[in-house]
Chains A and B, each alone.
Chain A
Amino acid sequence: GAVVSQHPSWVICKSGTSVKIECRSLDFQATTMFWYRQFPKQSLMLMATSNEGSKATYEQGVEKDKFLINHASLTLSTLTVTSAHPEDSSFYICSERAGVMAQETQYFGPGTRLLVL
């Protein structure tokens, strides 16, 4: 399977600041990566699809100006939460599709826990 890393693993910030989360594909060149958000006791919610060299595709209800995604290389996608507020506190997880059946299996990073005070 693919190996995905995220940095930082957790972050605490003040309301109004911006936070950048990095997602790296360590053993696979990923043209597409995915960003999810997970609130406590809930399942994963897809936020956006990150496309290398082009604009990200956002899910309905996700503000593209608030959650900036950059996928400048085949191994790195970043999610920037701009002007973070307490309601943005969540567990953010990235993933990539990889493997023999590349379109059907996703491998996830370890997640980044964001707490906005």
Chain B
Amino acid sequence: TQLLEQSPQFLSIQEGENLTVYCNSSSVFSSLQWYRQEPGEGPVLLVTVVTGGEVKKLKRLTFQFGDARKDSSLHITAAQPGDTGLYLCAGAGNRDDKINFGKGTRLHILP
């Protein structure tokens, strides 16, 4: 099983601040996904990264895949209360492997 470690586990910051959450592993992933889950709902896919060093932007969210494809980060600029949720990273070593999930970062943005 390829473990994904997410940090921090919890983060509570004021609206307008910037933040970065991390997803790390000792294993190489063919691709990695980030999801956001709100209470009582299923996870919603934010992005898939597949190329080492890749950077993708989704409005105020910037996702980066490490050069060695073992880690990823999510940076949020000027956080808003609507960004509150559980952020999950997930990945598989090979295309036919099961996707493994990290334990998530629970983010709370204070208005």
Q: How many residues of A contact B (CB 8 A)?
A: 23
Picked from A43, A46, A105, A108, the residue with its CB within 8 Å of the CB of B42 is A108
Q: How many residues of B contact A (CB 8 A)?
A: 24
A 46-95 contacts with B by CB, 8 A: 46, 49, 91, 93, 95
- Is chain B's binding surface mostly helix, strand, loop or mixed? loop
Say yes or no: A107 contacts B45, CB within 8 Å: yes
* Neighbouring B residues of A1 by C-beta, 8 Å: 45
Q: How far is the CB of A21 from chain B (nearest CB, A)?
A: 13
A103-B45 contact in complex given A43-B88, A43-B104, C-beta closer than 8 Å: no
User: Which residue of chain B has the shortest Cβ distance to A49 in the bound complex?
Assistant: B98
Picked from A43, A46, A111, the residue with its CB within 8 Å of the CB of B103 is A43
Task: Please list the residues of chain B having a beta carbon within 8 angstroms of any beta carbon in chain A.
Answer: 30-31, 33, 35, 40-45, 48, 50, 88, 90, 92, 95-96, 98-99, 101-104, 106
Task: Please list the residues of chain A having a beta carbon within 8 angstroms of any beta carbon in chain B.
Answer: 1, 4, 6, 41-44, 46, 49, 91, 93, 95, 101, 103-111, 113
